[in-house]
Structure 1
């Protein structure tokens, strides 16, 4: 499944529904660009949930079974994506948002996760990582926070504790 409908990905023109998702920041221009490329690679047979630009690289979040298809034979698809967006790209897969969080943080250990409900009705996700595992993180805390925030559609606080 792609962040935009297959017709939009195929025609490279957004319908009213996909345009609304873009205007409401449910999807980004990066999601649209990568979705169009993915459709060309697989004719809608595989997709991704979200693409997150974390500054010096982009992370594509997808289902585990689609990782190889996104990368392509010999890394061909991934190279085309990187050339098109001008950044290194990592593809990460999991079957659920929770599993994706653990994948991003592993091999470091998560001590706790909680949801904090604010007075204004918004929810903040708090993730505490074992402070002794800080050197095991595959990326910096800012990048992890940005990816998890995009994935969960919520504010995220990551603490070493």
Structure 2
């Protein structure tokens, strides 16, 4: 398993001086440390997680944006029990995104499994970039993804202003 902190630190929930310096310098966050400890705890019972690579974790308002390697995300999405195990260990909602992806792929990951028809960016006067995502289908009260949270996540993690529309108007 590859984590932002040492495996030994993650398994023992105590940071070594080197990892402590990473936190103090801002190279990694407290959310990275907490998520690493949680994954190490889950890996004790679930050997599939032993091969995972978590690049980072961003946390705000009870949302945890976990950045994994592409193959790891596919494994989690294919196994509902693995996803539930992860979700149960975090205090808030987890969002899985691929590490080092484009803004477009990042937004698509947040909407998984819903299909995104298009993502367009325009530059408004004053050098402000606006992004618009068009989601397949129609919005209903039972829509599984909180679009307001997606807007907040994109703003906080990628610093993009995003507007979300649905293919079929309400």
Which TM class, normalised by the smaller chain length? 0.5 to 0.7
Task: Provide closer, same or farther for how the CA distance between residues 74 and 129 of structure 1 changes in structure 2, counting only shifts above 3 A.
Answer: closer
What is the distance in 2 between the residues matched to 1:126 and 1:83? 35
Q: 3-state DSSP class of the match of 2:10?
A: helix
Number of residues paired by the alignment?
150
Map of 2:121 onto structure 1: 113
Change (3 A) 1:97 1:2: farther
Q: How much does 1:72 deviate? A: 10
- The residue number in structure 1 matching 2:90 is 85
Structure 1 match to 2:161: 157
- State the TM-score, normalizing by the size of structure 1: 0.61
Secondary structure of 1:49's match?
strand
Residue 15 (structure 1) aligns with: 20
Greater share of strand = 2
How far residue 74 of structure 1 moved from its aligned partner, in angstroms, is 7.0
Partner residue in 2 for 1:4: 5
Displaced runs of 4+ in structure 1, greater than 6 A? 71-74, 115-119
Judged with a 3 Å threshold, the aligned counterparts in structure 2 of structure 1 residues 134 and 74 are, in CA distance, closer, same or farther, namely: closer
Residue deviations 1:88-123, cap 9 Å, x none? Answer: 43434466133222232451323412567968xxxx
Determine which of 63, 70, 83 is the counterpart of 2:69.
63
Partner SS for 2:116: coil
- Provide the C-alpha distance between the structure 1 equivalents of 2:51 and 2:98, rounded to a whole number of angstroms: 16
Is the Cα–Cα contact under 8 Å of residues 71 and 78 in structure 1 kept in the other structure? no
- Contact kept, 8 Å, 1:109 with 1:133, in 2: the verdict is no
Aligned residue for 2:31, secondary structure, equals: helix
1:145 aligns to 2:151 (yes or no): yes
Indicate if the aligned counterparts of 2:87 and 2:94 stay in contact, CA closer than 8 A.
yes
Deviation at 1:8?
4.0
